[in-house]
Amino acid sequence: MRKSIWLLIYSFVLVVWLCPVRAWAGPAIDDGIQSARKMDSGHFSIFLSAGVDEDQLLKRLDIGPDHKILAGQTLQGAVFSPGSLTDLLDALFIWSCGVLDMNLYNYRGNIKIVKEPGQLGEVYLKLYGVPGHADKAFYIYETNTIYITEQDFTKEILGHEIAHAIISNFFVVQPPQKVAEVLAGYIEFQLRKLGGNRPHLQTLTAGAVPAVTAGN
């Protein structure tokens, strides 16, 4: 009897760890955001609200050709240009999956970028009918969507929310919120350790990406 119970527990743990619950972009729900532009990457549909500047997003993301996030990654066309935001978001997603050891090869989600912090509060109120939430960024599991402001579009804050998306899509049974926060915080911590001050993409001339070696 005891052996059967342990076998059942072991099987449950294997299911939780090994079976992603889903990898979809989420249902369409009216969140009140009017998108002026949409871009698609391998893993995300990215929606830019009116007034959001893509060059500013690249600058704030601050991932250059020598950044460790790109180690082992082959970007589309092997070139950097001001239009490579989609490639960098995929690279950040793949890097985060690797750090968490939670690979989601078929994942697709949404990233919605608003101009002003107050817009996030309006989104949360429209979705849940109650005021208040993070004024920088948050992830909604039900729609598989990350919401973030232009001014907070950094690899650290975005990486934290991407981690929430990965965790939510990887597990069959959702882990406790505190556990998810610890894991997302770990990704943010690792990104802060990497630092910034990398050459911004818009300042680089198009050309082959220099060889990058992985490292801690």
pLDDT at 46: 96
Sequence-distant (6+) residues with CB within 8 A of 101 are none
72: left (phi > 0), else alpha (psi -120 to 50), else beta?
left
Note whether 153 and 57 are within 8 A (CB). yes
Residue identified by tokens 């990704």 is 187
- Give per-residue pLDDT as tens, 179-203: 999 999 999 999 998 875 443 333 3
What residue ranges do the domains of the chain occupy?
A: 20-203
187: left (phi > 0), else alpha (psi -120 to 50), else beta?
alpha
How far is residue 112's CA from residue 158's CA, in Å, rounded to a whole number?
A: 11
pLDDT over 60 at 93, yes or no? yes
Note whether 121 and 95 are within 8 A (CB). no
97 in helix, strand or coil?
Answer: helix
pLDDT over 80 at 6, yes or no? no
Residue type, 102: M
Tokens of residue 92, six digits: 């950040």
- Give per-residue pLDDT as tens, 31-80: 878 778 999 999 999 999 999 999 999 999 988 666 666 655 554 444 44
How far is residue 47's CA from residue 70's CA, in Å, rounded to a whole number?
A: 23
How far is residue 25's CA from residue 146's CA, in Å, rounded to a whole number?
A: 11
pLDDT at 87: 86
pLDDT over 50 at 22, yes or no? no
